[in-house]
Amino acid sequence: MTTKTPLIIDTDPGIDDAVALAIALNHANLDVRLITTVSGNVDVRQTTENTLKLVSFMKKEVPVAKGCDQPLLIKLEDASEIHGETGMAGFEFPKSHAKALPYHAVEAMRKTLESSEEPVVILAIAALTNIALLFSLYPEMKAKVSKIVMMGGTLSRGNTNSSAEFNTYVDPHAAQIVFQSGVPIVMVGLDVTSTAVLASKEVELIKGLGRVGQMFHALFQHYRGGSLKTGLKMHDVCAVAYLVQPELFQTQATHVEVALEGPAAGCSVADLKMKYHTDTNCEVCLAIDVPAFQEWLVENLEMSGDKLHD
């Protein structure tokens, strides 16, 4: 019998976030205990509403907590030009009466960690603002986190300025706090996730997967992270894939820091040759088996759809 991994998901849906959430919520090896939201792809009011809609659509009763509406020190720059104004346009979700918890995401994280008898994994697929605040306000909670698996950073070019990936760019100060926290981190960066695309073949297979497939197929028509012709980039889904099937990835232990200002603000600088550091603080993904990932994603969305009928 496989023991389920206790999990907190910090997110900002967003279309690829939505795919990641659907798979994580239905995966047999994951026990999602809390979902927290933050501004990023769109503002936090909208990311929270999107999360509640998706959790209800998937017929789950996982608590959702609304988090930070701004980065720690800089002005928010969202990604609505990629995900659309609402973040999940293109599908008419059934009306949901679900509500977020009546307290902040950081408090919800603290309560969830304190009540857990075993260390919890944090799946971070958004800006790291909530997690940085958690570690700053309640440093004792670090011992309750077994690791952070994050989609963020890059070892090559960025998708914001020339060198920064969006999640670290949105709140570089939060990212630096998390990288310096001492908590084990796995970084699934943009250079890897940009190769993890759904081609037209996979998109058509997903369309045939019942309500879940139809919902995502409709969202994909409004997603500008790639294209239906060249492939849709499943950035955040890669973090879930690493969590449950790490053999899909090649990794290397190294030390990562984040640039905080200037034209490279948000850039994740990895000391791959360990020339400037004696300690590592991160396991960085270097490559992904794309065909195996595509097969894994379709299979898991199919299982997610099947569970709606259980």
Question: Taking CA 210 as the corner, what is the angle to CA 206 and CA 211, rounded to the nearest 5 degrees?
Answer: 105
41, 78 in Cβ contact below 8 A?
yes
CA distance linking residue 189 with residue 156, whole number of Å: 9
What are the respective helix, strand and coil percentages of the chain, to the nearest 5? 40, 20, 40
Name the amino acid, one letter, at 221: Q
Q: Which amino acid, one-letter code, is at 88?
A: M
Enter the tokens of residue 174: 């939060």
Residue whose tokens read 């990936």: 165
Pair 57, 94: CB distance under 8 Å: yes
Contact 154/268 with Cβ under 8 angstroms?
yes
Is 235 marked active-site? yes
Catalytic position from the list 173, 217, 235, 255: 235
CA 174 to chain centre: 15
What positions carry a catalytic annotation? 235
